[in-house]
Amino acid sequence: MKSQYISSALPLLLAAFFSFSSAASPHDDFLRCLSFSSNLSSSIANVVYTPNNASYSSILESRIENRRFSDSGTPKPLVIVTPLLESHIQVTIHCSREHGLQIRTRSGGHDFEGLSYIARVPFIVLDLINFRSVDVDVENRVALVQSGAILGELYYKIAEKSRTLAFPAGSCHTVGIGGYFTGGGYGVLFRKYGLAVDNIVDARLIDANGRILDRESMGEDLFWAIRGGGGGSFGIVLSWKLNLVTVPSTVTVFTIGKTLEQNAIKLIHKWQYIAPQLPPEMYFGISFSRTNSSQDGKKSVLASFTSLYLGGTEDLVALMHERFPELGLTSKDCIEMSWIESMLYHGLLQNQSVEVLLDRDYESSFTLPYYKGKSDYVREPIPESGLLGLWSRYSEDDAASGVIGFFAYGARMAEIPETATPFPHRAGVLYKIIYNVGWRQEDNINNGKYLRWIRRLYSNMTTYVSKSPREAYINYRDLDIGTNGIGNTTSYARASVWGRKYFKNNFDRLVLAKTMIDPENFFRHEQSIPPLRKR
């Protein structure tokens, strides 16, 4: 199986469609519309790419983060537009509607399922690569950031101006602002300051009618919806206004690895009780990787306990001695640094210069080039027997390139009400799990066994994770959820299956916001919020 898209008959139809696209086709009409619609025709021509343009492929490929979706079987856009002006976006929306083409909006291209650049209907990609300014106002502690910027650019620009201001967002610096913010956005400061969306105070959006709206003109329901209701449903968010947060000029990190032989299971079991109760200054996660036992060279699992502490070594060691002495943390394990250095550390960019944060093309070490990810939320500690079961799955050959991570919740995350934003995984969540299985190009022939492994693992975890609904994180997009990989978003019933996993009862309010702003369902994809049917 090349990918779940291929299993449907639709790509075949699309392939047929492509084969006579050199004759007159919908995209010719679309292009003609672009050039006639405004006096922008000359300037927009410079940012419109069809497969005939030499750089079409490189532009398309440059933001395909998951290589599963770069093979020749993956549906390709008829046209890519990389707008320079807001009016370019307005014209693109107008002409797409006029000629029945769908739009996929792309910021950083990190969607786990490639939804920012794949559709199974004729479509164009609107790539926000040129909308990536970041303006930091230290005095007022705010930043204005455009959706096409990456997280690293935001961090870099903040750190350039202040050592004690920060923004609470994710560790992988190449993630795009546009997708990350529309899906909620967690990171190593979230126990202290909540999600990224908890710190957003305004936004600028273009709707399906080409209107440009800010918080005041869009109204609170829509402003609520775009802060976590998922990208690609409500319109195109151009930019965001953020409140910056304060951090000490020195923070502390550590990573301590323990194998099975070093009592990892007991430590992880204990961690579940301790980590969610720690003060908000402490981020605490565990990531699992496979290793060979030092004793007999047999397969084993390495659990890496990793932290960011908003304070110094002495306080951190004292805190750990009091709450989690079994881990045996000593000051030798701790490294003090600035917040921006801690972002390099947690971004797996240790020892690199801070300029790496500006490198959009940096190949992330978080995943292998080809991958599948899933998520879970845990509300009851998993018994040791369950952790052992997880371990044995993880020792299977097919799990060779699997990574599992646990991220402690609690503190600020538990204080913000479930309905404050669309992101509902708040009080009562002990921690979140991410599952990832990756592989390289030369191993792509075996992708089926990796996909089967992660699905098996997910099914195996059912007993231990949140239930009714089994919660999932929208930004760890998973088309297995509720759609069996053949999304049909026109079916409200099916949408509410994944919708309640991602949003719980906030799904209903998202549907109302969608119905209000985009009743014709112009902005849609396999997991976009459906509008209510017209009566």
Ligand X SMILES: Cc1cc2nc3c(=O)[nH]c(=O)nc-3n(C[C@H](O)[C@H](O)[C@H](O)COP(=O)(O)OP(=O)(O)OC[C@H]3O[C@@H](n4cnc5c(N)ncnc54)[C@H](O)[C@@H]3O)c2cc1C
127 binds, among ligand NAG, ligand X, none (CB under 5 to 8 A by kind): none
Nearest-approach distance from CB 420 to ligand NAG, in angstroms: 32
CB 517 within 8 A of CB 235: yes
Nearest-approach distance from CB 341 to ligand NAG, in angstroms: 12
Nearer to ligand NAG, 318 or 532 (CB): 532
Token digits for 245?
């947060």
The DSSP annotation for 191-242 comes to HHH--GGGGEEEEEEE-TT--EE-HHHH-HHHHHHTTTS-TTSS-EEEEEEE
Window 437-496: residues binding ligand NAG (CB under 6 A): 460, 463, 488, 490-491
Residues 6 or more apart in contact with residue 32 via CB below 8 angstroms: none
39 binds ligand NAG (CB under 6 A): yes
257 binds ligand NAG (CB under 6 A): no
Nearer to ligand NAG, 195 or 403 (CB): 403
292 binds, among ligand NAG, ligand X, none (CB under 5 to 8 A by kind): ligand NAG
Residues 6 or more apart in contact with residue 392 via CB below 8 angstroms: none
Beta bridge partners of 165: 246
Window 171-210: residues binding ligand NAG (CB under 6 A): none
Q: In b/e form, how buried is each residue of 318-346, taking b as 16+ CB within 10 angstroms?
A: ebbeebbeebebeeebbebbbbbbbbbbb
Nearer to ligand NAG, 43 or 250 (CB): 43
Distances (CA, A) of 42 to 22, 38, 126, 314, 332: 23, 9, 18, 62, 62
Nearer to ligand NAG, 22 or 277 (CB): 22
Query: Up-side HSE of residue 423: CA atoms within 13 Å toward CB?
Result: 28
Q: Is 507 helix (H, G, I), strand (E, B) or coil?
A: helix
Nearer to ligand NAG, 290 or 323 (CB): 290
- Helix 26-36 vs helix 86-98: crossing angle, to nearest 10: 140
Token digits for 146?
């455009």
Nearest-approach distance from CB 52 to ligand NAG, in angstroms: 6
Phi-psi region of 242 (alpha: psi -120 to 50; beta: other; left: phi over 0): beta
CB 343 within 8 A of CB 173: yes
178 binds, among ligand X, ligand NAG, none (CB under 5 to 8 A by kind): ligand X
Nearer to ligand NAG, 62 or 460 (CB): 460
Number of residues located near ligand NAG, criterion CB under 6 A:
20
351 binds ligand NAG (CB under 6 A): yes
**512: how many CB neighbours lie within 10 A of its CB?**
15
366 binds, among ligand NAG, ligand X, none (CB under 5 to 8 A by kind): ligand X
Closest CA to 412 of 270, 257, 232, 276: 276
Nearest-approach distance from CB 317 to ligand X, in angstroms: 26
Nearest-approach distance from CB 364 to ligand X, in angstroms: 5
Query: Looking at 41, 133, 277, 292, which residue binds ligand NAG (CB under 6 A)?
Result: 292
53 binds ligand NAG (CB under 6 A): yes
116 binds, among ligand NAG, ligand X, none (CB under 5 to 8 A by kind): ligand X
Residues of this chain that bind ligand X (CB under 6 A): 65, 104-112, 115-116, 128, 147, 170-172, 175-176, 178-180, 182-183, 185-187, 231-232, 236-237, 364, 366-367, 475, 525
Q: Which residues are catalytic?
A: 476
Nearest-approach distance from CB 415 to ligand NAG, in angstroms: 33
490 binds, among ligand NAG, ligand X, none (CB under 5 to 8 A by kind): ligand NAG
Closest CA to 408 of 263, 287, 229: 287
Instruction: Work out whether the CA dihedral 291, 294, 296, 301 comes out positive or negative.
Output: negative
Please tell me the total number of residues recorded for the chain in this structure: 535
CB 66 within 8 A of CB 371: yes
Nearer to ligand NAG, 18 or 56 (CB): 56
Nearer to ligand X, 205 or 387 (CB): 205
111 binds, among ligand NAG, ligand X, none (CB under 5 to 8 A by kind): ligand X
104 binds, among ligand NAG, ligand X, none (CB under 5 to 8 A by kind): ligand X
Query: Looking at 290, 323, 379, 470, which residue binds ligand NAG (CB under 6 A)?
Result: 290
49 binds ligand NAG (CB under 6 A): yes
CB 93 within 8 A of CB 506: no
Window 62-101: residues binding ligand NAG (CB under 6 A): none
Long-range contacts of 192-195 (CB under 8 A, 24+ apart): 192/168, 192/245, 192/280, 192/281, 192/310, 192/411, 192/412, 193/168, 193/245, 193/412, 194/168, 194/412, 194/413, 194/416, 195/168, 195/228, 195/413, 195/421, 195/423
105 binds, among ligand X, ligand NAG, none (CB under 5 to 8 A by kind): ligand X
Nearer to ligand X, 236 or 413 (CB): 236
Residues near ligand NAG (CB under 6 A): 39, 45-49, 52-53, 290-292, 350-351, 386, 389, 460, 463, 488, 490-491
